[in-house]
Amino acid sequence: MPAAINDRKTINGWAFFDWANSAYALVISVAIFPNYYIRMTDDYIPFFGAQISNSSLYAFAISFAYLLISLMLPLLSGIADYSGRKLFFLKVFTTVGSISCAGLFLFKGMPQVGLALAFFILATIGFDGGKVFYNSYLPLITSPDKYDRVSAKGFAYGYIGSVILLLVNLWIILDPSFFGIPEENSLSVRLAFLMVGIWWIGFAQITFRRMPAEKKGSFEEKILKKGLREIKQVWHELKPQKNLKRFLISFFCYSAGVQTILYLAATFAEKELQFGSSELILVVIILQVVAIGGAYLFAYVSKIRGNKLSLMSMLVIWIFICILAYFVNDKMQFYLVAALVGLVMGGIQSMSRSTYSKLISNRKEDTTSYFSFYEVLEKVAIVFGTFSFGFIDQVSGGMRNSVLLLGCYFLIGMIILWRVNMTKSPDQLILS
């Protein structure tokens, strides 16, 4: 039986998946692992006969992970719609991601750098690969007039849960002797990776129990062709919709900037400003706390003035962030930049997701394929953004020029979004 629309228990269960997997987004991709990776590796790492800077190699690892994700998702999401296996694939990606996070516990230095990057790539695939199935539940569990608020609720749950785990990690890192861990030992940091894996798979069980029951069809070979056909159908249906295409192109451009900043801000802080682990954790806590309010703030702006103004306002702030980051030269300035990132980080992701949900709200049966197209676009944007960031870092010998490049992506996205015609009805945003 499908869950009733706007059922509180189902919505809370859906939001708890953000609580579960955001531990990866915060601890692994932002707060602790990037800094630990930079500290435990040489400045230049041999890679197929070339010497690649450790920060560039890290960026390229992210690019590779998202390239694989973008290739897999169209096929998997099509299969999920035809065989009724949204929850199955959500569980598969969650399992891969959580085990890989726990596997980073084995990373002790240069001898394990290849293993560490492999686990990091798999954890990234598990995290973002599962999001298309998670996001596709939004139009199925709530009505269009509540998309903005429910979407923001998911992000808020994620911020709160991940900050709680990060504070525990900070306690262990700053006072390892209290837990019987030697002071001069990487064990206190590596335990954080193990805890993320346990947290992720553990709290995800709440979501798995509360999502609508699936009517599973038989898994036949022809389902593969049906899945691909469905993705092609989405592409053909998008072609005559000029405003929707403009929105998606804009989304591609600014996502290249947003996701690259979220992934590489910590490496920038460590290499350019010599931030330590505890200082970075403080930065991330500030960022996350501000992000909770930011997600709801821009949902409110959208309710009063529409999605377009809300998104445009955030893009202006993102451009300002890139300019500030280029000139920042002390830690207090970076704390200000982090606060601004937090203000718009959750808001732009939440507003983009809810806007897209409104645009496809008339579709109920194949939402996974539509969200797959949206997610693949975002993944390709991450490949584009992180690879270009790493390339500029490698050839220029620094990360500041790469940050300016990201500002250009936001500017292009804003210009394209300006050309999208949006009107607002009492119940939902309409693109005409």
What pLDDT score does 98 carry?
97
Give mean pLDDT, residues 290-297: 79
Distance CA 195, CA 106 (A): 13
C-alpha 418 chain-centroid distance: 25
Q: Band of the pLDDT at 219, cuts 50, 70, 90? A: low
Distance CA 35, CA 237 (A): 44
Quick one: tokens of 27?
């601890």
CA-derived radius of gyration, the chain:
21
Give mean pLDDT, residues 198-211: 94
Q: Is 45 in a helix, a strand, or coil?
A: strand
Lowest mean pLDDT among 121-130, 211-220, 248-257: 211-220
Encode pLDDT of 44-74 as tens digits: 998 888 889 898 999 999 999 999 988 887 7
The mean pLDDT value of the chain amounts to 84
Quick one: tokens of 159?
């911020």
Distance CA 350, CA 68 (A): 24
Over 90: is that where the pLDDT of 96 sits? yes
Residues near 48 by beta carbon (within 8 Å), at least 6 away in sequence? none
Q: Is 423 in a helix, a strand, or coil?
A: strand
196 φ, ψ to 5°?
-60, -45
Encode pLDDT of 374-406 as tens digits: 878 888 999 999 999 999 988 887 788 899 999
Give mean pLDDT, residues 319-344: 88
Q: Which residues of 169-179 are buried (b: 16+ CB within 10 A; e: fewer)?
A: bbebbeebeee
Q: Which residues of 263-299 are buried (b: 16+ CB within 10 A; e: fewer)?
A: bbbbbbbbbbeebebebbbbbbbbbbebbbebbbbbb
Domains in the chain with CATH codes: 8-431 (1.20.1250.20)
Quick one: tokens of 147?
């998309």
What pLDDT score does 422 carry?
67
Encode pLDDT of 257-272 as tens digits: 998 988 888 888 877 8
Give mean pLDDT, residues 239-251: 83
Encode pLDDT of 111-140 as tens digits: 999 999 999 999 999 998 888 788 778 878
Quick one: tokens of 117?
């990057």
Nearest Cα neighbor of 338 from 285, 303, 287, 262 is: 287
Q: How far is CA 320 from CA 160, 299, 313, in A?
A: 27, 21, 11
Give the count of alpha carbons within 13 A of 93, CB side only: 26
Does the reported pTM lie above 0.85?
no
Helices (H), 360-399: 367-396
Give the count of alpha carbons within 13 A of 2, CB side only: 11
Q: Band of the pLDDT at 432, cuts 50, 70, 90? A: very low
Contact 413, 257 (CB under 8 A): yes
Contact 353, 304 (CB under 8 A): no
